[in-house]
Protein backbone atom coordinates (compact mmCIF):
# COMPACT_ATOMS: atom_id res chain seq x y z
CA UNK A 1 0.00 0.00 0.00
CA UNK A 2 1.16 3.52 -0.75
CA UNK A 3 -0.50 6.95 -0.65
CA UNK A 4 1.00 9.92 -2.49
CA UNK A 5 -0.09 13.38 -1.40
CA UNK A 6 0.50 16.52 -3.47
CA UNK A 7 0.81 20.02 -2.08
CA UNK A 8 1.37 23.29 -3.91
CA UNK A 9 0.00 26.75 -4.54
CA UNK A 10 -2.68 27.32 -7.21
CA UNK A 11 -1.43 26.70 -10.73
CA UNK A 12 1.70 24.85 -9.63
CA UNK A 13 0.79 21.67 -11.50
CA UNK A 14 -1.06 19.46 -9.03
CA UNK A 15 -3.82 18.76 -11.55
CA UNK A 16 -1.34 17.63 -14.19
CA UNK A 17 0.34 15.37 -11.63
CA UNK A 18 -3.06 13.82 -10.94
CA UNK A 19 -3.54 13.29 -14.68
CA UNK A 20 -0.21 11.45 -14.89
CA UNK A 21 -1.28 9.25 -11.98
CA UNK A 22 -4.61 8.40 -13.62
CA UNK A 23 -2.85 7.55 -16.87
CA UNK A 24 -0.64 5.15 -14.87
CA UNK A 25 -3.73 3.46 -13.46
CA UNK A 26 -3.43 5.04 -10.00
CA UNK A 27 -6.76 6.29 -8.61
CA UNK A 28 -6.94 9.93 -7.53
CA UNK A 29 -8.89 11.58 -4.73
CA UNK A 30 -9.08 15.35 -5.18
CA UNK A 31 -9.59 17.29 -1.98
CA UNK A 32 -10.72 20.29 -3.99
CA UNK A 33 -13.63 18.22 -5.30
CA UNK A 34 -14.77 17.72 -1.71
CA UNK A 35 -14.90 21.50 -1.33
CA UNK A 36 -16.56 22.07 -4.69
CA UNK A 37 -19.28 19.53 -3.85
CA UNK A 38 -19.89 21.20 -0.50
CA UNK A 39 -20.05 24.56 -2.27
CA UNK A 40 -22.68 23.26 -4.68
CA UNK A 41 -24.60 21.65 -1.79
CA UNK A 42 -24.77 25.08 -0.15
CA UNK A 43 -26.28 26.55 -3.30
CA UNK A 44 -23.17 28.54 -4.16
CA UNK A 45 -21.03 28.76 -7.31
CA UNK A 46 -18.01 26.38 -7.11
CA UNK A 47 -16.04 28.51 -9.60
CA UNK A 48 -16.32 31.61 -7.40
CA UNK A 49 -17.13 30.53 -3.85
CA UNK A 50 -15.02 27.43 -3.23
CA UNK A 51 -12.41 29.42 -1.31
CA UNK A 52 -15.01 30.86 1.03
CA UNK A 53 -16.52 27.42 1.62
CA UNK A 54 -13.08 25.88 2.25
CA UNK A 55 -12.54 28.46 4.98
CA UNK A 56 -16.03 27.84 6.37
CA UNK A 57 -15.54 24.06 6.53
CA UNK A 58 -12.33 24.50 8.50
CA UNK A 59 -13.89 27.12 10.77
CA UNK A 60 -16.95 24.95 11.42
CA UNK A 61 -15.27 21.54 11.74
CA UNK A 62 -11.58 22.21 12.38
CA UNK A 63 -8.44 22.43 10.26
CA UNK A 64 -8.57 18.74 9.35
CA UNK A 65 -12.21 18.72 8.19
CA UNK A 66 -11.49 18.25 4.49
CA UNK A 67 -8.74 15.69 5.03
CA UNK A 68 -11.02 13.66 7.29
CA UNK A 69 -13.78 13.75 4.67
CA UNK A 70 -11.24 12.45 2.16
CA UNK A 71 -10.09 9.46 4.26
CA UNK A 72 -13.07 7.18 3.47
CA UNK A 73 -12.60 7.93 -0.21
CA UNK A 74 -8.92 7.00 -0.03
CA UNK A 75 -9.62 3.81 1.89
CA UNK A 76 -12.28 2.86 -0.64
CA UNK A 77 -9.80 3.24 -3.53
CA UNK A 78 -7.19 1.19 -1.67
CA UNK A 79 -9.57 -1.77 -1.48
CA UNK A 80 -9.06 -2.30 -5.20
CA UNK A 81 -5.71 -0.62 -5.84
CA UNK A 82 -2.25 -0.88 -4.34
CA UNK A 83 -1.80 2.88 -4.35
CA UNK A 84 -3.72 6.14 -4.51
CA UNK A 85 -2.89 9.81 -5.01
CA UNK A 86 -4.56 12.50 -2.90
CA UNK A 87 -4.50 15.81 -4.73
CA UNK A 88 -4.51 19.22 -3.09
CA UNK A 89 -3.32 19.06 0.52
CA UNK A 90 -3.47 22.55 2.02
CA UNK A 91 -1.96 22.40 5.51
CA UNK A 92 0.41 20.73 7.92
CA UNK A 93 -2.62 19.62 9.95
CA UNK A 94 -3.87 17.69 6.91
CA UNK A 95 -0.43 16.12 6.52
CA UNK A 96 -0.75 14.98 10.15
CA UNK A 97 -4.04 13.24 9.33
CA UNK A 98 -2.58 11.26 6.43
CA UNK A 99 0.65 10.41 8.24
CA UNK A 100 -1.32 9.20 11.26
CA UNK A 101 -3.51 6.97 9.11
CA UNK A 102 -0.97 5.66 6.59
CA UNK A 103 2.40 5.99 8.36
CA UNK A 104 5.47 5.34 6.21
CA UNK A 105 3.20 4.42 3.29
CA UNK A 106 2.39 8.14 2.90
CA UNK A 107 4.65 10.20 0.62
CA UNK A 108 4.28 13.98 0.37
CA UNK A 109 5.24 15.73 -2.90
CA UNK A 110 5.56 19.51 -3.08
CA UNK A 111 5.04 20.95 -6.58
CA UNK A 112 6.39 24.47 -6.99
CA UNK A 113 6.53 27.26 -9.59
CA UNK A 114 6.91 31.06 -9.46
CA UNK A 115 3.93 33.37 -9.28
CA UNK A 116 4.06 34.60 -12.89
CA UNK A 117 4.18 31.06 -14.29
CA UNK A 118 1.25 29.97 -12.13
CA UNK A 119 -0.77 33.05 -13.04
CA UNK A 120 -0.35 32.39 -16.75
CA UNK A 121 -1.33 28.75 -16.35
CA UNK A 122 -4.49 29.63 -14.47
CA UNK A 123 -5.50 32.14 -17.11
CA UNK A 124 -5.13 29.44 -19.77
CA UNK A 125 -6.98 26.87 -17.68
CA UNK A 126 -9.99 29.12 -17.19
CA UNK A 127 -11.67 26.79 -14.69
CA UNK A 128 -11.91 29.22 -11.78
CA UNK A 129 -13.20 32.77 -12.05
CA UNK A 130 -10.61 35.48 -11.51
CA UNK A 131 -11.18 38.89 -9.94
CA UNK A 132 -12.56 40.31 -13.20
CA UNK A 133 -15.33 37.68 -13.15
CA UNK A 134 -16.31 37.78 -9.51
CA UNK A 135 -13.63 35.40 -8.27
CA UNK A 136 -10.37 35.84 -6.34
CA UNK A 137 -7.12 37.36 -7.53
CA UNK A 138 -4.25 34.88 -7.46
CA UNK A 139 -2.37 36.75 -4.73
CA UNK A 140 -5.50 36.60 -2.58
CA UNK A 141 -5.79 32.85 -3.23
CA UNK A 142 -2.12 32.40 -2.31
CA UNK A 143 -2.61 34.37 0.91
CA UNK A 144 -5.70 32.37 1.83
CA UNK A 145 -4.05 29.02 1.22
CA UNK A 146 -0.92 30.03 3.08
CA UNK A 147 -3.22 30.97 5.92
CA UNK A 148 -4.42 27.35 6.03
CA UNK A 149 -0.83 26.21 6.66
CA UNK A 150 0.33 25.60 3.08
CA UNK A 151 3.90 26.75 3.71
CA UNK A 152 4.27 24.41 6.67
CA UNK A 153 2.91 21.50 4.63
CA UNK A 154 5.29 22.20 1.75
CA UNK A 155 8.19 22.32 4.19
CA UNK A 156 7.46 18.72 5.21
CA UNK A 157 7.58 17.29 1.68
CA UNK A 158 9.52 14.09 1.01
CA UNK A 159 10.27 15.32 -2.51
CA UNK A 160 10.13 18.73 -4.18
CA UNK A 161 9.43 19.13 -7.89
CA UNK A 162 10.19 22.47 -9.50
CA UNK A 163 7.67 22.79 -12.32
CA UNK A 164 9.24 25.47 -14.49
CA UNK A 165 10.61 23.33 -17.32
CA UNK A 166 8.66 21.71 -20.14
CA UNK A 167 5.46 19.76 -19.61
CA UNK A 168 7.29 16.63 -20.79
CA UNK A 169 9.98 17.12 -18.14
CA UNK A 170 7.42 17.67 -15.41
CA UNK A 171 5.45 14.59 -16.38
CA UNK A 172 8.65 12.54 -16.39
CA UNK A 173 9.49 13.71 -12.87
CA UNK A 174 6.02 12.79 -11.64
CA UNK A 175 6.34 9.34 -13.25
CA UNK A 176 9.65 8.86 -11.41
CA UNK A 177 8.01 9.68 -8.08
CA UNK A 178 5.06 7.37 -8.79
CA UNK A 179 7.40 4.51 -9.63
CA UNK A 180 9.51 5.10 -6.52
CA UNK A 181 6.41 5.14 -4.32
CA UNK A 182 5.15 1.91 -5.86
CA UNK A 183 8.58 0.31 -5.31
CA UNK A 184 8.77 1.69 -1.73
CA UNK A 185 12.13 3.19 -2.70
CA UNK A 186 12.44 6.33 -0.60
CA UNK A 187 16.09 6.82 -1.64
CA UNK A 188 14.79 7.69 -5.10
CA UNK A 189 12.86 10.60 -3.61
CA UNK A 190 16.10 12.24 -2.54
CA UNK A 191 17.58 11.82 -6.02
CA UNK A 192 14.43 13.22 -7.63
CA UNK A 193 14.34 16.19 -5.27
CA UNK A 194 17.90 17.09 -6.22
CA UNK A 195 17.33 16.77 -9.97
CA UNK A 196 13.92 18.43 -9.89
CA UNK A 197 15.09 21.58 -8.14
CA UNK A 198 18.50 21.91 -9.76
CA UNK A 199 18.85 25.30 -11.37
CA UNK A 200 15.66 26.70 -9.88
CA UNK A 201 16.04 30.44 -9.35
CA UNK A 202 12.58 31.67 -8.46
CA UNK A 203 11.83 33.17 -5.06
CA UNK A 204 8.08 32.71 -5.04
CA UNK A 205 8.24 30.74 -1.82
CA UNK A 206 11.18 32.49 -0.20
CA UNK A 207 9.35 33.27 3.02
CA UNK A 208 8.25 29.78 3.89
CA UNK A 209 9.95 27.68 6.57
CA UNK A 210 13.07 25.65 5.88
CA UNK A 211 12.55 21.96 5.23
CA UNK A 212 13.72 19.78 8.09
Q: Where are the domains of the chain?
A: 2-197
70 has a pLDDT exceeding 60? yes
Fold of 2-197: Rossmann fold (3.40.50)
Q: Record the pTM.
A: 0.80
The pLDDT tens digits for 151-204 are: 999 999 999 999 999 999 999 999 999 999 988 766 666 555 444 443 333 334
133 has a pLDDT exceeding 80? no
CA distance 24 to 127: 24
CA distance 106 to 2: 6
6 has a pLDDT exceeding 90? yes
What is the arithmetic mean of pLDDT over 11-34? 93
Q: Are 179 and 22 in contact (CB under 8 A)?
A: no
What is the arithmetic mean of pLDDT over 110-121? 93
Amino acid sequence: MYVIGTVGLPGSGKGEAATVAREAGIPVVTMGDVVRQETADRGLDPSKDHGTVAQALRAEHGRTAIAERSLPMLEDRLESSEGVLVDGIRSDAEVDVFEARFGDAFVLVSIEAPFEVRRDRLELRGRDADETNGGEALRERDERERGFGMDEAMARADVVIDNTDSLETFRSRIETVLEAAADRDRSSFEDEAISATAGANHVDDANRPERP
